[in-house]
Structure 1
Amino acid sequence: GDLLAPVDAAQEVWAAGVTYLRSREARVEESQSKDLYEKVYEADRVEVFFKAIGWRVAGHGEAVRIRRDSRWNVPEPELTLVLNGAGDIVGYCAGNDMSSRDIEGENALYLPQAKIYDGSCALGPGILLADPDSLVDLPIRMSIRRGGAVAFQGETSSAQLKRSLEEIAGWLTRELAFPDGVLLMTGTGIVPPDDFSLAVGDTVRIEVGELVLENVVER
């Protein structure tokens, strides 16, 4: 059955970008501004951006959406950190950072529209308490089922992150306070091929460690 997303209505969800080599390669391929992504992958400062407010987040079994004005949409499976009010990593959940690749690829300044819209964020199925040291080599898997068959599947590991989890979290909380804590998606290492786009009715299954998040795609 459906589960509520493990986030309070007023809590924020943020995301980090271009933290895996595969993500950098995909962004370079899709973008009109290729050097932006190469530079941020190598830079000291991490790309972080606002993703959703808690009441917008879908839980396990609930629907995610693709934008009606986009033709190229993908889910992004992400280890999502749970930070307390002091900015410490206290646990994790599985996350789906839905993205419109054609919109972001047209102009990097369109990233908020490519990433932030109704139904663009799913988290679940719950929060597993953990310290950062136990999260350095978590398996991350994604499969997309369409009409009873697997349309795409891939896997990676949090060990493929270019930066440490504490470093990513530190950039978010450096000048931004979250008294009630915050959830931070840490980027994707799984990107479907360029000829793949989500379709209405697809089921996206994301596994992060022992946690499983499933959502059906709507428009």
Structure 2
Amino acid sequence: MADPVFQNGTFVGRAWRADVGGPSVVVIRDGALFDITSKAAPTMRDLLEHPDPVAHVRSTQGERLVALEDCLGQKADPSALHLLAPCDLQAVKACGVTFARSMIERVIEERAAGDASRAETIRARVTAVIGDSLRNLKPGSPEAARVKAALIEEGVWSQYLEVGIGPDAEVFTKAQVLSAVGPGADVGLHPASRWNNPEPEIVLAVSSSGQVRGATLGNDVNLRDIEGRSALLLGKAKDNNASCAVGPFIRLFDETYGIDDVRKAELTLLVEGEDGYRLTGRSSMAEISRDPLDLVAQTIGPHHQYPDGLMLFMGTLFAPVEDRDEPGQGFTHKLGDVVTIASAELGSLTNTVRLSTECAPWSFGAAALMRNLAGRRLL
């Protein structure tokens, strides 16, 4: 049976249709997936740019494709219908260091220079100095400035603390347009990484005018060792083949769901290893240090335009510290791990961990999409 979360609300996404050799915009209705691709909205980008996306979805009849329960969890297979990441032409951006607890872990990564074996000792020392002093601070406030001065005096100031409690949020490019993978797909780790973890996050769907149209789930696959060696390696740590998962659907803001629901969202994480290993975690948006709309405003506005809109990862509270193998080594992924990120309002996103070099190559880019839509007379 399909997840009951999809019985209410307006859920839209993208599905690969083998019969047309390309993607379609879909909506959930009465437990089934309907294709609502049209000349008015040939892409998800166009749907989210519509003056009233919810009204457009509800007024478009569409073509019934498959029962939702027969589609959820299907592996990415070009020869069969399956769900894709629900975004297409939008830029995929991410905000980092938005939670106090995970902010401390970024400081530890930096101090350990990517060496997991040093993390436990450094964690104890940094926590002894910082304690809970950051938890209720408003970034950019006079109080935050005073804490910054005190931490500099103690010799523990970090670039991660700068973006965590300073006036400017960290916003980086997580993935290239059309490169994000969807539910059921493999997610990739760079082969050079030996210390890494999943990051369960809310992802906002934002139009070119800066309006938040809806939200979905994301896994901002994180390479702790590579980023820990140098923040200048952030691109290598974050943007690799299949290193960004988004889905399963975008829940549009309507009378049942809005930005206040995002602000109080509770996410759960489950990692299940082929060796029987099991890790659970959570991320509570109620503990975020910066308001979601502030993060949107720091990303898009007069200072930076996104004509096709953007998907914006909100950051995560989750930072695993328990040992998986050797004492003091902490958590890191093993190939074959199945990662499930879930929310009572957005459903669940499940992916299997592989090396980026072993995941399906990214081959369907913007040119392929335009040719496909043109061939279907949708442009």
Where on the TM-score scale, by shorter chain, does this alignment land: which range? over 0.9
Match of 1:81 among 204, 213, 234: 204
Q: Which structure 2 residues correspond to residues 84-99 of structure 1 after superposition, within 5 A? A: 84-99=207-222
Letter of the structure 1 residue corresponding to residue 170 of structure 2: E
Letter of the structure 1 residue corresponding to residue 84 of structure 2: L
Deviation at 1:148, TM superposition (A): 6.6
Deviation at 1:67, TM superposition (A): 0.8
Match of 1:212 among 348, 360, 374: 348
Partners of 2:208 and 2:289 in 1: how far apart? 25
1:7 aligns with 2:80: no
Higher strand share: 1
Q: Which structure 2 residues correspond to residues 28-67 of structure 1 after superposition, within 5 A? A: 28-32=107-111, 35-67=158-190
Q: Which has the larger radius of gyration?
A: 2
Partners of 2:213 and 2:192 in 1: how far apart? 38
Deviation at 1:151, TM superposition (A): 2.5
Task: Decide whether the 8 Å contact of 2:99 with 2:315 is kept in 1.
Answer: yes
Give the aligned partner of residue 121 of structure 2: none
TM-score, normalised by the number of residues in structure 2: 0.56
Give the aligned partner of residue 203 of structure 1: 338
Partners of 1:197 and 1:102 in 2: how far apart? 10
Match of 2:283 among 151, 156, 178: 156
1:133 aligns with 2:256: no
SS in 1 for 2:84: coil
Letter of the structure 2 residue corresponding to residue 218 of structure 1: R
How many equivalent residue pairs?
Answer: 218
TM-score, normalised by the number of residues in structure 1: 0.95
Task: Decide whether the 8 Å contact of 1:93 with 1:208 is kept in 2.
Answer: no
Deviation at 1:155, TM superposition (A): 1.1
Deviation at 1:12, TM superposition (A): 1.2
Partners of 1:138 and 1:164 in 2: how far apart? 13
**Runs of 4 or more off by more than 4 Å in structure 1?**
none
Letter of the structure 2 residue corresponding to residue 212 of structure 1: S
SS in 1 for 2:311: strand
Task: Decide whether the 8 Å contact of 1:65 with 1:119 is kept in 2.
Answer: yes
Task: Decide whether the 8 Å contact of 1:77 with 1:94 is kept in 2.
Answer: yes
Partners of 2:171 and 2:343 in 1: how far apart? 21
- Computed over aligned residues only, the root mean square deviation of the Cα atoms, in angstroms, reads 1.5
Give the aligned partner of residue 320 of structure 2: 192
Q: Which structure 2 residues correspond to residues 113-132 of structure 1 after superposition, within 5 A? A: 113-130=236-253, 131-132=258-259
Task: Decide whether the 8 Å contact of 1:78 with 1:208 is kept in 2.
Answer: no
- Greater relative contact order (Cα < 8 A, sep 6+): 1
Deviations 1:57-89 (A, max 9, x none): 110000101110111111111100010121111
Letter of the structure 2 residue corresponding to residue 178 of structure 1: Y
- Identity in percent: 36
What residue ranges of structure 2 are gaps of 5+ in the alignment?
Answer: 1-73, 76-82, 114-156, 322-328, 356-379
What residue ranges of structure 1 are gaps of 5+ in the alignment?
Answer: none
SS in 1 for 2:158: helix
